[in-house]
Amino acid sequence: MIFLSTVQLIADDVYEVTHRKLLKMKNDIGLGDISWSEFFDKITEDIFLLDDVNAIIQKATRDNLLKVWCVNFGDNLEDIRNGKTIRDLVPLEAQENENVVLGPGVVVGRGPSIYKHKHLNLLAKSNFKGAIVASDGSLIDCLKRGVIPTHVVSVDGNNELIWKWYDDPLVDKYGSKIKAILCVSVAHNVVERCKKAGIEIFWFNPQFDDYRRNDSFTKLQMLMTRSEKNPGGAPNVTCGGNAGCTSWVLSTGLLRRSPVGLIGIDLGYLEETPLEETAYYKQVMDSTNGNINIIAADIKMVNNPFFKVKAKADTIFRQYRSAWLDILKQMRPNIRTINCTEGGTLFTLDPKISLEYSKFSTFLQENS
């Protein structure tokens, strides 16, 4: 416990002189105004516990991708400054009335439920006329099944993986009908691939941290994207850590769609998925000298009471779910979000959070 008054013993084993040294250190590095908890988080951010799966993944992400993201941002900067941003996608009706709702939408992820329940086939055969916002990983599968998304969203900066989501003859065939909403740090080869396919690009800035702080990475990127064409720079977007959540945020907050049906947004694995097929298996095994027990302990079985199914979720999916529910708490009351996955872990028993549940076939019947 930390005492407010100056006493010899400041904490269980931290004496006054040590406290004064820490206080001087805190002020000297420009962190005097933040709490002690934030300060300790800051000075220990590069220390990772090997028995913490989340820490392992964070470290691997930072080590492997941060430099790549910065390079991508630099390569994209000319396109961003001379291109369009998501401000150009705001419907005229929404500019005049911030509470307007412009009809239904569907957000498409690539979770396993979308294939288990053949939701893309249902969508292709329906008369649905609303907005279809697809995460990049689901784009080609949508096109192969006869679904042409109105928008596709990319958040990840992975140079090899994300480019593949756009590399298909069907993307070239239908590209002129699709708008790409890209984060400023997306791989530059994705930008070039979109141009080749005739996909119109709209930029946004992913919110990494509190942009109000002077040392904010988000704020720095936003300032650097300013130009004569875009004096406000690329707008910030709360992404929830993944393209699926970003697609939903943009569908509701930018395109003003409601109700929005979610498919392929599992935030987890099917009950029968083996450990070897979970997303971070190789990453964690490589970082722990093959200690499979760490992964096994991290995977939790979740009972979905609304769809009466079980699903598995690791630390990352649990974080995604938590972030999604936090954003839902802030959603305008006239926006309806309907989970149509018929599985997964995205649910809540909190009556203050507005999230509905339905079979996708029912959603399509009611909104086509």
Q: Is the pLDDT confidence value at 269 over 50?
A: yes
Asked whether residue 356 carries a pLDDT value surpassing 90, the answer given is yes
Higher pLDDT, 186 or 19: 186
Structure tokens at 312: 């598995």
Q: How many CB atoms lie within 10 A of CB 118?
A: 13
Q: pLDDT per residue over 37-76, tens digit each?
A: 777 766 665 444 444 444 544 455 555 677 888 899 999 9
Written as six digits, the tokens of 333 are 């009351």
Q: Side-chain half-sphere of 303: how many Cα atoms within 13 Å?
A: 3
SS3 332: coil
- Give CA–CA dist 254/138, Å, rounded: 21
How much is the pTM? 0.81
pLDDT at 32: 80
Provide the token pair at 209: 């941290």
Q: How far apart are CA 32 and CA 23, in angstroms?
A: 8
Mean pLDDT of the chain: 86
pLDDT digits (tens, 9 = 90+) for 164-213: 999 999 999 999 999 999 999 999 999 999 999 999 999 999 887 666 77
What is the β-pairing status of strands 200-206 and 179-183?
Answer: parallel
Helix spans in the chain (H) = 16-28, 36-43, 53-82, 92-96, 113-116, 119-125, 139-144, 159-164, 169-174, 188-197, 217-224, 243-249, 281-287, 292-298, 315-329, 360-367
The confidence band for 81, taking pLDDT boundaries of 50, 70 and 90, is very high
Contact between 260 and 105 under an 8 Å Cβ cutoff? The reply is yes
